[in-house]
Amino acid sequence: MGTISVQYNKKPSVVDAFKMDMSLPIIDFNVEHVEDKEYAIYSACNYKDEVIAVIGLIRYDYLNKEVFIKIMDETVGPYFYDMKKTVFDKLTPTKENSFASEWRRKVKLKYN
């Protein structure tokens, strides 16, 4: 999964930037400030007959008025685990043991 970049005149919010490269319906989300100009957005999204986790990394380049967007779903085992429990609880059970199962296990560990 690659990263896209988008030029802007008015800086988009994290969720608006996320939606620039995201076509699935978002049920709920939370945003984490990762570092100076970078954010992670954790979302519960409708996909076919499931609700899955989709994580976006959003980085702003204020000097060049550009935003970089990388979208990952839970099946690639993203290295970001701070999904809020209220968002996590909206996910449907995984159908198989996979990277998604392992990612969800690591998210749950943060709640304990």
Question: What would the pLDDT profile of 9-30 be if each residue is shown by its tens digit?
Answer: 999 999 999 999 999 999 999 9
Identify any residues that bridge with 68 across adjacent strands, giving them in sequence order. 5, 59
Model pTM? 0.93
Mean pLDDT of 78-101: 92
Residue of 99 and 59 predicted with greater confidence = 59
What is residue 88's DSSP assignment? H
Mean pLDDT of 20-43: 96
Task: Quote the pLDDT of residue 1.
Answer: 56
